[in-house]
Amino acid sequence: MKQILIFAACAALLASCGSKNQYVIEGQIEGSNDWVYLFDQEDNVLDSAAVKEGAFRFKGTAEEPQMALLRDARDESATFVTVLLLEPGTIQVNDDPENPMRKRVTGTPANDASTLYNDTAYQLITEYRDSSTTEERRAAIEKEYADLAQKVVEKNRNNIFGAMLLADQMSYELSGQELLDQIAQFTPEMQQTKVLADLKAHAQAKQKSDVGQPFIDVVAADADGNEVSLKSVVENPDNKYVLLDFWASWCGPCMGEVPHLKQTYDEFHKKGFEIYGYSYDSDRDSWLRAIDNNQMNWIQVSSLNGFDNQSAKDYAIQGIPSNFLIDHQGKIVAKNLRGEDLYNKIAELLK
């Protein structure tokens, strides 16, 4: 009898856990193919459902909230694809009457927040592009758009969308400590998710290259195959400030920074400013051609292995361009100086 009661209790507990993580996806899509498929982020099929008169239904469980893709074919014949967030509750997927290219995903906190965020961003962009919008209003829209992610994260500390928005839209600009402070404001349950656990590990690594920290040495080969260390450049008595610049020839924003780098280098090199350029190219010819065509006549090195190198780990590089300004004592004094900010900072330091 005792064993039966224990078994019943365990069964009830398992049922409770399953119910807690259970989701339902109900959809009504016009013109859909006969089957819809649910994919994870690695494009693995999680589930499939038949479509009858535009309607379909999934039911499943997720160990923790996660992003998924819904589309009505396994290949390029799909008529639609939409992102949704798997979490407990009933998720509704419907056509968007105002935009046939989009699907509206609602019904649970994270999906409601995601849809509201996308709607707000779309409205701001549409208004900005409207020819009747004044320049004054455009300036205000730019400010609203820049502040949007932070405001939405603040309201969604208890669901996966807030965590994803922090990771995808805000983590590049924040320091390691600022990221840790943001993560700490999420609910304990959300902090255990893979999204925030991974982000926390990244933030802790990023802390090591925050402003005020000592630089981490980098060693890579130049165009002639000679290894050049960042340490040797920083410790060169002729150099008062060294910019560690991560870039690649295939990176449009990186190449957009080149005129600013050149202007600053040409004006301040003789006064003690040096650049240590580390390319995340994989193709040697592309790397050297970009240097030559753009007259990037400062120190250039590369492992020619893309992001798969020790510097990316040491400096917690998420994307490029990324840069770190190092003083003659080896301390990081600024990071991610873009456009005229780089020139102005060096002009201030070497005036």
pLDDT digits 0-9 by tens, 166-184: 999 999 889 999 999 999 9
Q: Write down the pLDDT at residue 100.
A: 77
Q: Write down the pLDDT at residue 274.
A: 98
Identify whether 5 is part of a domain: no
**Radius of gyration, alpha carbons of the chain:** 25
- Domain at 29, CATH number: 2.60.40.1120
Four-point Cα dihedral 35, 38, 41, 44, nearest 10:
-70
Identify whether 163 is part of a domain: yes
Q: Are residues 268 and 333 in the same domain?
A: yes
Instruction: Record the tokens describing residue 23, joined without a space.
Output: 């989701």
Q: Write down the pLDDT at residue 9.
A: 42
Q: Are residues 337 and 259 in the same domain?
A: yes
pLDDT (tens digit per residue) in 329-340? 999 999 999 999
Q: Are residues 246 and 344 in the same domain?
A: yes
* Number of domain units in the chain: 3
Q: Which amino acid is at 219?
A: V
Q: Write down the pLDDT at residue 4.
A: 42
Residue at a domain's end among 49, 69, 102:
102
Q: Are 60 and 88 in contact (CB under 8 A)?
A: no
Q: Which of 67, 59, 64 is closest to 83 using CA atoms?
A: 67
> In terms of residue numbers, what domain contains 284?
219-349
Residues in the chain: 351
Q: Write down the pLDDT at residue 76.
A: 86
Q: Are residues 224 and 202 in the same domain?
A: no
Q: Write down the pLDDT at residue 19.
A: 53
Q: Are residues 73 and 134 in the same domain?
A: no
Q: Write down the pLDDT at residue 15.
A: 39
Q: Write down the pLDDT at residue 305.
A: 95
Q: Are residues 233 and 345 in the same domain?
A: yes
Q: Which residues of the chain have pLDDT under 70?
A: 1-20
Query: Which distant-in-sequence residues (6+ apart) come within 8 Å of 178 by Cβ?
Result: none
